[in-house]
Structures are given as C-alpha cells and as structure tokens.
Amino acid sequence: GIRGERESEEAKARERAKEERGGRCGADARECVYFFDRLGRRKGIRVSKMVNIPKVKKAYCKDKKCRNHQPHKVTQYKTGKASLYAQGKRRYDAKQSGYGGQTKPVFHKKAKTTKKIVLRLACQKCKSVSMQPIKRCKHFEIGGDKKKKGGLFQ
C-alpha cells in the first residue's frame, strides 16, 4: 500500500544520506560530522573532526602599503583577559556585593559543542593583522603533518 511505499522511500533517502556522508568536508578536513532529520536529509551544522592549516598562508592584505596578496603568518585568535575595570564588570561586582546571593541570571542551556575557529593573519611585509573565521571543528592544528593519499603522514 501507500504506507509501505512511503517507508521504502524513507529507507532509500537514509541510504543516500549514508553514501553522502562518505564524502569529504573540504580540502583541509579529514572527516566530517553531519546532522540528519528523521527522513535522512542532511540538516544543521557541518562540523569537521580535524583541521590542519599551514603556518604561512598567502592572503589578501587590505593595508594601504600592500593592497595585494602577500604571505601571512597564521596564528589562532585567543580572547584577551577580561578587565576588572570595565564598566559592566564594575557594575556587576557592585550589584553582587553584600547580602542576597546571585543577582543576575547564570546561563546553563549550552547548545554548541564546538566553537568557530578564528585565524589571526599577520602580513609579513607590513605587519598589519586581520581575522578570518573558519568552520567549526573538534580538533584544530597549525602546521601539522600533511596527509598523504596512502593514509600515512610524511
């Protein structure tokens, strides 16, 4: 009947999705993780398992001195230490002081398991710095061994 045909179509869709999962994420990724809905269609975020980026990368430099493609030194962007003297921090500390417990809501409903990686590109000619966000990934590496076709590292 109609129900049996619909179930077989869903099974075919799931099989197609499984075959698609075998493909590669991008040039610099080794494996991918996808999210699927109940019909087997690919949905949501694509998360690479491993990303390896070279230490020097040719990229466009926006600075007035360059304005063309130059080799850039690649590092991973890290958030700086939060200042104790920022207005919001001073206000929060003042509100927290004294009796009364926690005064502001504390966020607990964390949904993401990974963060988007941000590359800090420093031009080797003029030393200007720019940021470049890349995909989400579980493991990130700069200047690691290149992957060969045979599966062995060089």
Residues, the chain: 154
- The CATH class of the 2-94+113-142 domain is alpha beta
Domain ranges of the chain: 2-94+113-142
Instruction: Answer whether 0.85 is exceeded by the pTM.
Output: no
| Pairing of the two strands 69-76 and 116-123 | antiparallel
Q: What are the tens digits of pLDDT across the range 15-53?
A: 776 666 554 454 444 456 666 666 777 766 677 788 999
Residue 3's pLDDT is what?
A: 60
Q: What are the tens digits of pLDDT across the range 94-131?
A: 999 999 999 999 999 999 999 999 999 999 999 999 99
